[in-house]
A and B are shown apart, each in its own frame.
Chain A
Amino acid sequence: MNKSFNLNRRKFLISSFAAGGAMVIGTHAMAATIEGLPAGVPTPAGATEFTPWLTIGADDIVTVRATAVDIGNGTLTQIASYIMEELNPAWDNIKVEYADTNRDYKEGNVYSTPGGALGYFSGRSTGPARMDTYLQVAASARARLIGAAAEAWGVPAAEITIKDGVLSHASGKSAKFSEMVEAASKVSFAEEPKPKDRSEWTWLQKKAPAKIQIPHIVNGSAIYGVDVKVPDMVYAAMMQSPVMGGKLKSYDAEKVKDMPGVLAVVTVEPGENVPTDLKPPFPFGVNPAQHAVAVIAEHYWQARMALDALPIEWDDGPGAQWKSTQQMVDAALAAVEKPGEKVEVSNGDVEAVFKDAGKIVEANYHTPYCDQTPIEPLNGTALVTPDRVDFWHPSQHSQEAFYVAAHETGVAPENVYFHQTFVGGGFGRRVFSDDARMVVAVAKKYPGKPVHLIWSREEMTRQGRYRPMMAAKLKAALGDDGLPTALLGRMSGGPGFFAVGMPETALTAVTPNAQIESQTVPFHILTGPYRGPGYNSNAFFVETFVDELAEAAGEDPLDYRLRLYGKFADKGWVKVLEEIKAKSGWGEALPKGQGRGVAVANWGMDGKTPSGTTVATVAKVDIAQDGTLKVLQLDVAFDTGRILNEDAVRVELEGGTIFGLNMSMMEGLNVEDGRIVEGNFDEYPMLRMEDMPKINIHFGGLSDDNRYFEIGEPPAGVVGPAVGNAIYAAIGKRVRSTPFRLHDLTWS
């Protein structure tokens, strides 16, 4: 089918090579996608490799290698843009492919710094280490090409220019990269040339190319993990212990062994991995396998049917003690009524101020377990043999997946080949590589055949690594000016909850006396990163509470924030608030049942100011008397410091805002007898086209501070409190938990 694919729009290729030049991802026909056993990323024949990051081919194709997996956030396009800025090839001649984790291992971490952030095979493309690396690599290649041309033509290097992949001189001499590349590879410098100053940029910050992989997406040729086809591949469907931490008690393979296509029934247990000296990469540790049973069949549907028919009994284990969601919420709320076991911040004397204070505001909040729910179900394909592993997988952190494949099988890392595919949504779900572990653990029980394991949507939703359930108590004393003089914050949640978003935030910093504590509650539910970990709950707690402070102070909530956060050292907070106040229609009269709410928060602030990304959102809502809530409009202003690709930033802010809206309006998982109740979208509903508000992204909050900070996670935290505060403005009802769809919002 891909024979018809025409590259006339853009010759850009995204590919990850397999042996013999076949591609795992790319424009090749499906049947040719993976033929024979894949190897690492070979340097194309006749190409000159300047560094492991960059090659220039005899065909003038400039190949750049990416360690930041593109999960739809545009990392590959940004990396191509760095090369474009410094090297100026023809844009259509830049090819981005994923750096090879096997090569990284064999060549002493050429792409990564163990324990460091440069090369960990995940994350964003705009971090300083990555950005500097790519700009330097391209600047070094550029200087070598120019040096070779200067030598060949007998002219000064300074007189040679490069445009669209052509070197030229005023004398009329010109050459393509390919003509100079061999000589260029022999040029050496005592000191590497410096990349351009920002003031000289002509591509970065000026151009906003759309994502380079879109042509592969719109005709169905992009190969996601679930699309991988390998010769002799078999399929697997799996069920893990419905109560996390439970064990497989018994199963009866005899009942399904004669069903069509069934090849085997296999089991997985934690601790079946083989010891290895390989260390897990930054920033995660080891996630053990879960107890599971899987059916392997010739076709996926056969495996699913047989798994459904397989009698299985589980020993639920201690997690079954949690009979209901309410029991867990009660436990989390009870935990914040007593001093926390861990003191995160302690400034001044909070209790002394509370004793003498005239006005005290206090409230408790909670947020539920939520699933990242990427639309591509968890999956992977692994071929395990005694001395080699090949593993195709839509990872959000390919180095972690590579590590897991070696760690689970015990095969020497130099014989482990990980093949990154397109990723059908991440949001944190595919970072820990617990999914990768299960694929390899199942496949190694059926060695010698590539096993393609696909989770059902129900299995995936019930076996998540969720945003943790969290509860909080916030208490403040207000001074005569209405601003807080003391703040007590207590957070609680299950093991692994993230304290991010309360201890280090501006409210804590600007309040003279502040005490922030946390307490872990012994829930059994497994948790993981979910767009804006910790922050996505704490921003809701803190910014709903700040609205309650504004109300107690009798002041407009946006003006109150301007005063409150005006005391904070990072002036970006005020700038985004002023931008949102000017652009959102704040203060304009609304009919009865409608209201506006505001929230502002920062993701990534690290104690230094300025830092992180500050986002402010104003929500306008309409609530019918029967309680039907409709979000009409969301205005978003932000400060990442600076930006590199305006549309890439805009699209992430749109997406992150909708993600946060979904989280706050719709999402919440329930627990019954230790099991997660919800399985599919009928039980865990999502916003759709008809639910979309008008979304306006405003750029006037940018401070021009010298940082290009993250943009995917920051918007997710502030939508919820902005909508909640708008609900209060509309009908006078304060919502202190999510999802909002569960609240009675009727009014008369």
Chain B
Amino acid sequence: MSVTLTINGKPTEVDADPQTPLLWVLRDHLGMTGTKFGCGIAQCGACTVHLDGEATRSCQVPLEVAVGSEITTIEGLSPDSSHPLQKAWIEMNVPQCGYCQAGMLMAASSLLAAIPEPTDEDIDQYVSNICRCGTYPRVRAAIHKAAAEMKA
């Protein structure tokens, strides 16, 4: 089935089974591999994208459900890595292996859009992604730093 998705502001044509998870549509059919496969059951959050601005685990969104939504992936978070979160991530040496970090960034950017000055509890609630390297303390600190920069 051929459908048109809106990805990072652009209409994008894709031909795949309507039940194919959005994750695999992005990665395999469209070659947009910034969105990662980690578990396939919405546990780890590596596949987090925005659907109409809301952080969503794309492994649980069938293609047919994604039609009509504004989809934002890590590739569209900013045109030039200039999002305050991306800058804070680099400055604060946040990632280790880096594999889960696209999902972390998409969860964190959705949080900051909803709550510009999040508390630690807000971060705990919004950023439930799994990081096996243990970057959690730096992810938290970098979110606070980015929030401060966005306020300034």
A contact residues vs B (CB 8 Å cutoff): 1, 4-6, 8-10, 30-31, 71-73, 210-211, 213-215, 217-224, 226-227, 229, 235, 260, 299-302, 373-377, 422-427, 454, 456-457, 647-648, 651, 654-659, 662, 680-682, 686-690, 692, 695
Contacts and interface: CB of A to CB of B under 8 A. Distances in A.
Interface centre among B91, B99, B129 (most CB of A within 10 A): B99
Nearest to A235: B28
Given A31-B31, A374-B132, A9 B90 contact: yes
B139 interface: yes
B51 interface: no
B98 A422 contact: yes
B44 interface: yes
Q: Name the prevailing secondary structure of the B interface residues.
A: loop
A425 B44 CA distance: 14
Contact of A655 (B33, B91, B134): B134
B34 A221 contact: yes
B82 to A, nearest CB: 8
A235 B97 CA distance: 24
A215 B81 contact: yes
A376 B99 contact: yes
Contacts of A9: 81, 90
Q: Name the prevailing secondary structure of the A interface residues.
A: loop
B39 interface: yes
A214 B98 contact: yes
A219 B39 contact: no
13 contacts: A30-B32, A211-B95, A215-B90, A217-B95, A220-B74, A226-B33, A375-B99, A422-B98, A424-B97, A454-B37, A456-B40, A662-B134, A680-B41
A663 to B, nearest CB: 11
Given A6-B80, A218-B105, A226-B37, A299 B97 contact: no
B149 interface: no
B14 to A, nearest CB: 11
Contacts of B134: 654-659, 662
Nearest to B102: A220
Interface residues of B, number: 64
Nearest to A424: B99
Contacts of A682: 41, 43
A651 B33 contact: no
A427 B132 contact: yes
Nearest to B139: A689
B140 interface: yes
A679 B43 CA distance: 12
Contact of A219 (B36, B74, B91, B97): B74
Given A210-B91, A425-B132, A658-B134, A689 B140 contact: yes
Nearest to A685: B43
Contacts of A211: 93, 95-96
Given A210-B91, A301-B20, A217 B98 contact: yes
Contacts of A218: 81, 85-86, 89-90, 95, 101, 105
A5 B75 CA distance: 9
Interface in B96-114: 96-102, 105
Contacts of A456: 40
Given A375-B38, A375-B44, A654-B138, A300 B99 contact: no
A73 B96 contact: yes
B132 A457 contact: no
A299 B24 contact: yes
Contacts of B100: 375, 424
B16 interface: yes
A689 B138 CA distance: 10
A374 B99 contact: yes
A301 B28 contact: yes
Interface centre among A375, A377, A427 (most CB of B within 10 A): A375
Contacts of A226: 33, 36-37
Contact of A72 (B32, B77, B133): B133
A30 B73 CA distance: 15
Nearest to B99: A424
Nearest to B24: A301
Given A9-B81, A215-B81, A681-B39, A222 B132 contact: no
A460 to B, nearest CB: 10
Interface centre among A1, A223, A235, A300 (most CB of B within 10 A): A1
Given A72-B133, A658-B136, A681-B39, A219 B96 contact: no
B34 A220 contact: yes
A115 to B, nearest CB: 29
Contacts of B36: 224, 226, 375-376, 424
Contacts of B132: 373-375, 425, 427, 659, 686
Contacts of B20: 299, 301
Interface string B112-125: 00000000000111
Nearest to A220: B34
Nearest to B98: A217
B127 interface: yes
Nearest to B39: A457
A689 B127 contact: yes
7 closest Cβ pairs, A-B complex: A220-B34, A658-B134, A424-B99, A72-B97, A72-B96, A217-B98, A227-B33
A165 B91 CA distance: 24
Contacts of A222: 98
A375 B131 contact: yes
Contacts of B81: 5-6, 9, 215, 218-219
Interface in B19-51: 20-21, 24, 27-29, 31-41, 43-44, 46
A266 B21 CA distance: 25
B3 interface: no
A300 B28 contact: yes
Contacts of B137: 654, 692, 695
